[in-house]
Amino acid sequence: MLSKSSARIFFLGGTVVTFLIFIVLSWRSISQDVPVKTHEENITAQVIAGKHLWESNNCMGCHTILGEGAYYAPELTKVYERRGEGYIKVVLTSKAPWAPRGRKMVAYGFNDQQADELIAFLKWIGETDLNGFPPKPAYKSTLNSQ
Ligand code: HEC
């Protein structure tokens, strides 16, 4: 059984040590992991302009990116890889709401430059190292599972 004073030392010591570990790991993440994993060197003026368009047009009102946002429309973290540049450009420049699957995307009718900025942003996001997020669906073979 710990005495009251050794329990206090144990508690304070544990708190200080875990707090220091937290500080060191946070510093490591911010100064080393984030720049490497996000490929900071690829954040061009075009990517930044795309991010501004992303925010000012409330894309997250319907879409998620990095899992954040609304669930009305497709997740867009890997949309560049999934759909390719041409498809995205058609969606973003379309004068009529893009809706091959029923739900309607806003017909922003972006010009070429704006569409390219958004595409650059989506390409950059898609190439960041997210430790495997979003996971690929694990399709189970129905042929051999009887
Ligand atoms: C009102 C809701 C809404 C908003 C706001 C919205 N979208 Fe969409 N978006 C959709 C829907 C719904 C689809 C799927 C349409 C379909 O495929 O039938 C879509 C599809 C897309 C696609 C193709 C995705 C895929 O996997 O096929 C891209 C890229 C896209 N949106 C980008 C954007 C961007 C960039 C913005 C902001 C500038 C934005 N969207 C704002 C509803 C929205």
104 Cβ inside 6 Å of ligand 1? yes
Band of pLDDT at residue 93, cut at 50, 70 and 90: very high
What would the mean pLDDT of 115-128 be, rounded to a whole number? Answer: 97
pTM value is 0.86
72 Cβ inside 6 Å of ligand 1? yes
Band of pLDDT at residue 141, cut at 50, 70 and 90: low
What would the mean pLDDT of 27-49 be, rounded to a whole number? Answer: 95
47 Cβ inside 6 Å of ligand 1? no
Cα 62 to averaged position of ligand 1 atoms, centre (Å): 7
Q: In the numeric block, which tokens belong to residue 81?
A: 């890889």
Across the strands, what pairs with 68?
A: 65
Q: How many CB atoms lie within 10 A of CB 26?
A: 10
Q: Which pLDDT score is estimated for 71?
A: 95
Please give the distance of CA 89 from its chain centroid, rounded to a whole number. 20
Cα 112 to averaged position of ligand 1 atoms, centre (Å): 17
Residue 135 confidence (pLDDT) above 90: no
103 Cβ inside 6 Å of ligand 1? yes
In whole angstroms, how large is the CA radius of gyration of the chain? 23
